[in-house]
Structure 1
Amino acid sequence: MSPDDLCALASTHGQAALQRWAAEDPQRLALNAARSPQLPVRAIVEQLTLRQRYRQKFASWLPYLLLESQACEQAASQALARWKARNLLPAQSQSVVDCCAGLGSDIFAAAEAGHHTQAWEHNPLLASLLRHNAQALKLPLTVHQGDGCTDLAEAGTVLADPDRRASGRRSLQPSDWSPTPAAILAAAHNAACIILKLPPGADPSSIASPGHRQLIVLSQAGEAREQLLCIYPRQPATVLPARAVGLDYLGNLRFDVQGDANTAPPPPLSWQQPGPVFIDPDPALIRSGLIATCAQRHRLSLVHPQVAFLHGNDPGTDFPGSRFQVHDSGPWENKILRRRLRQMGLSRLRISRRHFPWTVESIHHRLGTREGGSMRLFCYRNGDEALAWTLAEPLLAEG
């Protein structure tokens, strides 16, 4: 999107065209672009394509938004943004500042919740886009273009989702982000709370921070979406146990697990035949380090202390994750397993592997199978450090 595209799309004619062609196939519309030379058809086609792609992500906001491709990728979904506004922001209205707002999901949700909101965005185009979208949503949001770290002294809560492509490509190294976490923490040292959003693959321990802190990992529809470092600079320096939260596509709460500082690590396990139920945990539990805590609460066993697969005896367990009924399992012996699959008439499998030396493609090659079907083959190391497998089918639809 260019500044000229934004002006054209935000105009009365542009908005009318987006509404008129909302149900059109973008590709068919692109072929007919020559018929409407007075309209920015290419930009309209891009908007309609992005709206189709992110329909679930932005939900009821979508008809009012103008979108930019890269900003859409990093933006929070409406469901996650609203959960954060309800559960992490104070109940009483206060000053909330988003110092690197991007497309604006988090600050939109804060404004909807009645807080006094300001948004900063260093990219001039995104700042203009943010201003247009806030007005379209009729939200009382003040938007500034510039360095958000210059105006955080009076903020009650600071939201921060740094640009992870500032170096030209997506990076998981905090020193490559803009602004850097260190710069945000220095500028917001008087804030009551700083909510720093990290990508799922980043290492929270690499970020030094003053005061009280807690890691919260959010998943939606079975996929890890965000890691949040909630930092309270004014409170004594302590680390709360991590928290894992899972929502469905619509934003309904599926689970909310709080860690226990007194939970001991699981003991080394010897190999045991998996029980009738096999579980692939929700990734929020894995990334928050809460597998052992949750397993103890649900009386489940890990297949290996460092492998995030579990098994148990209760098909009705509500452990967060995908549940499977075990058909067979055993130590890895290629010929025996290959013969067993042929006896069952299985030429297509879905493979999940952890702590296992071979790729999915290599496993299929060894077994003479292809990816697909409903049966799942779990490949892992067991408690005796030997290669093992479990063949199972879903008890419920995954995700």
Structure 2
Amino acid sequence: MSAAEDVTPVLHPDGWALLEALPPYDPATALGLGARLREAGAAPATVAAALTQSRLRAAARGKLGGFADHMLFTAEGLEQATRLPVAARHADRFRRAGATRVVDLGCGIGVDAMAVAGMGIAVDAVERDPATAAVATVNLRHLEHAVVHLGDAEAFPDGLPVPRPGTPGGTDAAWVDPARRRDGRRLKDPEQWSPALSWALGLAGTGVGSVGIKAAPGIEHALVAPGGPAAGWSAAWTSVDGDVVEAVLWWGAAAEPGTLRSATVLRTVPGAGGDEQVQEAGTLTDVGLGPAPVGPVGGYLHEPDGAVIRAGLVAHVAEQLGGRLLDPMIAYITTDEPVTSPFARSYAVHAVLPWGLKRLRAYLQTQGVGRVTVKRRGSPVEPEELRRALRLDGDREATVVLTRRGDERIVLVCDPLV
């Protein structure tokens, strides 16, 4: 079923009313509910569309919280959509850069545009797919500073009905989130993105004062290095609860002066009234450190956050902790003292063993361990296969870290530091 077939029925008043009247989505009862609605006279296409939207709303709550309950979605748009707390950080960066009008080129379902308009900044949201543009229009309906335009992002700045940069009240910032999938596959080559990365980098020459380009977390550091195609830009990686959710290339007033790479760690914490909220645990920036020292395993192990690793800032965390690497090519830090950092998960090391299944099983059995969390870097062993092969039945829990020092494969048995 196409996106248009999914969405169109709920754009009509009867479809919207049906969607809003549905109970919270429950996959166990969805089929029966659909049958009852059809028996009551609702059109099958309307029932299918409403239930699809109900399912997508439920799936979207992890990214968008309670806002999801009054939005529309396409499956692809939801997959690529920015988490709302992260989108709010994009919008705040534009605000701090002095932007008064942002063009969102390829706005998708409109989450970033929602965040920008929510800060009182005018936003022109451009989307070329009619069904997705309709969804974005619904999602932005309550925000007076937002307008959705059906058009091709690559027509900017002269081929779109948006105020031209450099004119009074004109566009002074641009945001672009290129499509990075085709036929369900991730596109590793940035020139295959839509729009291509080279085109997006060219936005810096359109007269706007700030540009942000959302990119894949695996984007190469060489892009922003001196002499690279994005020299003069800064790259910022963000993680939420350890999951690296994005990298963004920033240019102009929205870039961090003198910063090539940065890593921001966000954590979910309890909020008022029992609700959860996402807060910044810290931001680490590149200050040009050399390689971290390498040394023996100490009493404590530290696993840098994924955003730190992606940004190439492991040495900065090692310096912060006063630690050393186990191996120059492995992102594990060790210390002799129990220190912690918002940029790493820390563990007390109870045993360091040469790799061997029988040896590891025997040690864990003597310690009464029955459940293990397996982590690995630099090891070919699959965690799930190891858990099955250990056949443990004790009452304790432990963290097993599979890694190496040089050519030696080792196992660390640890407990998390609280």
3-state secondary structure, aligned to 1:212: coil
In structure 2, what is the equivalent of residue 198 of structure 1?
Answer: 215
The answer to whether residue 194 in structure 2 is matched with residue 178 in structure 1 is yes
3-state secondary structure, aligned to 2:181: coil
**Structure 2: distance between partners of 1:302 and 1:234:** 34
Aligned ranges for residues 145-156 of structure 1 at < 5 Å?
A: 145-152=150-157, 154=165, 155-156=171-172
3-state secondary structure, aligned to 1:126: helix
Match 2:290 to one of 264, 282, 289: 264
Number of corresponding residues = 387
Q: CA deviation at 1:361?
A: 4.5
**Structure 2: distance between partners of 1:233 and 1:58:** 28
**Structure 2: distance between partners of 1:243 and 1:61:** 29
Aligned partners of 1:167 and 1:176 also within 8 Å? no
Aligned partners of 2:97 and 2:254 also within 8 Å? no
Aligned partners of 1:211 and 1:233 also within 8 Å? no
Q: CA deviation at 1:366?
A: 6.1
Q: Which runs of 5+ in 1 are unaligned?
A: none
3-state secondary structure, aligned to 1:244: strand
In structure 1, what is the equivalent of residue 8 of structure 2?
Answer: 7
In structure 2, what is the equivalent of residue 90 of structure 1?
Answer: 96
**Structure 1: distance between partners of 2:244 and 2:23:** 31
Aligned ranges for residues 132-147 of structure 1 at < 5 Å?
A: 132-135=138-141, 137-147=142-152
3-state secondary structure, aligned to 1:54: helix
The answer to whether residue 228 in structure 2 is matched with residue 228 in structure 1 is no
- Aligned residue identity for 1:55: R
Q: CA deviation at 1:132?
A: 1.6
TM-score norm. by structure 1 comes to 0.88
Aligned partners of 2:103 and 2:123 also within 8 Å? yes
In structure 2, what is the equivalent of residue 23 of structure 1?
Answer: 24
Judged with a 3 Å threshold, the aligned counterparts in structure 2 of structure 1 residues 338 and 110 are, in CA distance, closer, same or farther, namely same
**Structure 1: distance between partners of 2:292 and 2:25:** 55
In structure 2, what is the equivalent of residue 103 of structure 1?
Answer: 109
Q: CA deviation at 1:186?
A: 2.7
Judged with a 3 Å threshold, the aligned counterparts in structure 2 of structure 1 residues 204 and 317 are, in CA distance, closer, same or farther, namely closer
Aligned partners of 2:101 and 2:172 also within 8 Å? yes
**Structure 1: distance between partners of 2:66 and 2:354:** 50
**Structure 2: distance between partners of 1:373 and 1:9:** 52
**Structure 1: distance between partners of 2:385 and 2:19:** 48
Q: Which has the higher contact order (CA 8 A, sep 6+)?
A: 1
RMSD (CA atoms): 2.7
**Structure 1: distance between partners of 2:365 and 2:397:** 16
Q: Which moved more, 1:12-21 or 1:118-127?
A: 12-21
TM-score norm. by structure 2 comes to 0.84
Aligned partners of 2:357 and 2:390 also within 8 Å? yes
Q: CA deviation at 1:92?
A: 3.2
Q: Which moved more, 1:79-88 or 1:144-153?
A: 144-153
Q: Which moved more, 1:286-295 or 1:336-345?
A: 336-345
3-state secondary structure, aligned to 1:163: coil
Judged with a 3 Å threshold, the aligned counterparts in structure 2 of structure 1 residues 210 and 380 are, in CA distance, closer, same or farther, namely closer
3-state secondary structure, aligned to 1:32: helix
Judged with a 3 Å threshold, the aligned counterparts in structure 2 of structure 1 residues 374 and 345 are, in CA distance, closer, same or farther, namely closer
Judged with a 3 Å threshold, the aligned counterparts in structure 2 of structure 1 residues 191 and 374 are, in CA distance, closer, same or farther, namely farther
The answer to whether residue 81 in structure 2 is matched with residue 75 in structure 1 is yes
Q: Which runs of 5+ in 2 are unaligned?
A: 158-163, 166-170, 269-276
Match 1:350 to one of 373, 378, 385: 373
In structure 2, what is the equivalent of residue 251 of structure 1?
Answer: 278
In structure 2, what is the equivalent of residue 289 of structure 1?
Answer: 312
Q: CA deviation at 1:287?
A: 0.4
Q: CA deviation at 1:359?
A: 2.8
**Structure 1: distance between partners of 2:21 and 2:250:** 43
The sequence identity of aligned pairs, in percent, is 25
Q: CA deviation at 1:63?
A: 2.2
3-state secondary structure, aligned to 2:317: helix
- Aligned residue identity for 1:223: D
In structure 1, what is the equivalent of residue 273 of structure 2?
Answer: none
Match 2:234 to one of 214, 217, 221: 214
